[in-house]
Amino acid sequence: MTQDDKTTHFGFQTVDEDQKAGMVHGVFTRVASKYDVMNDLMSMGIHRVWKDAMMDWLAPRPGQRLLDVAGGTGDVAFRFLGRAGDGARATVLDLTESMLLEGQKRAEAENLSHALDWTVGDAMALPFPDNSFDVYTISFGIRNVTRIEDALREAYRVLRPGGRLMVLEFSQLPNDGLQKLYDLYSFNVIPVMGQIVANDRDSYQYLVESIRKFPGQDQFAAMISDAGFEQVKYRNLSMGIAALHSGWKI
């Protein structure tokens, strides 16, 4: 198989690898203006609790430099800077410029502008030198990357020795009955909500499908280890609807 013949998934569709980034870009361009509202509605606000749990485990410190990949509207970067204190700096990188523009409109962005950078870029080919950041975060974005292994290797490359990776992503419930109930909600409610609120059923159908295609907790933890990270651990959130994964570049 040649590089040109390689395929990947876009939700439940099989597509050529070189098509996926453009398709994902289209999804997030379409939903950018309603992204934050839909996150609150879909999760009933629980995504805020998950991101706070991420910061609790991360324990940001003064002077640290964060790279938040697929950082979109800035939720994680704002939380990080609020906790890290003096001298901390955050770079928000996203494939979709319209997501970054929505983030820059938020009041937090104005208050923290002295410590924030916004960059359009690809998680699989980061536009930064080796050993540039103390912390790398990605929240609900890694499942949209065409080659997850490449993104994890790039995370390892740009982190300084002693740097930390933290991934927040939807995951798999360990109980089959609960998973079936969650699937019923996801597939029957979220796309309809997307149609009503964002006038875009298809994008939210893709987002639901992409969650089901993402590796389970143990498999993803193994992928992080394979990228070179050590002390890899994960914590389930809300019984496994989401999971936090942590690894260190040592």
What are the two backbone dihedrals, phi and then psi, of residue 60, each rounded to the nearest 5 degrees? -55, 150
List pLDDT tens digits, range 61-105: 999 999 999 998 899 999 999 999 999 999 999 999 998 999 999
Region of 72 (left: φ > 0; alpha: ψ -120 to 50; beta: rest) is left
Assess contact for 89 and 66: CB atoms under 8 A: yes
Which residue has tokens 């089901």? 212
| DSSP-assigned letter for residue 96 | -
Return d(Cα 66, Cα 89) in angstroms, integer. Answer: 6
| DSSP-assigned letter for residue 239 | G
* Kind of pairing between the strands at 133-139 and 230-237: unpaired
pTM for this model (two decimals): 0.86
What pLDDT is attached to residue 6?
85
Average pLDDT over residues 240-245: 95
* Kind of pairing between the strands at 65-69 and 133-139: parallel
Structure tokens at 191: 């796309």
Return d(Cα 134, Cα 116) in angstroms, integer. Answer: 15
- The band of 33, judged by pLDDT with boundaries at 50, 70 and 90, is low
pLDDT greater than 60 at residue 209? yes
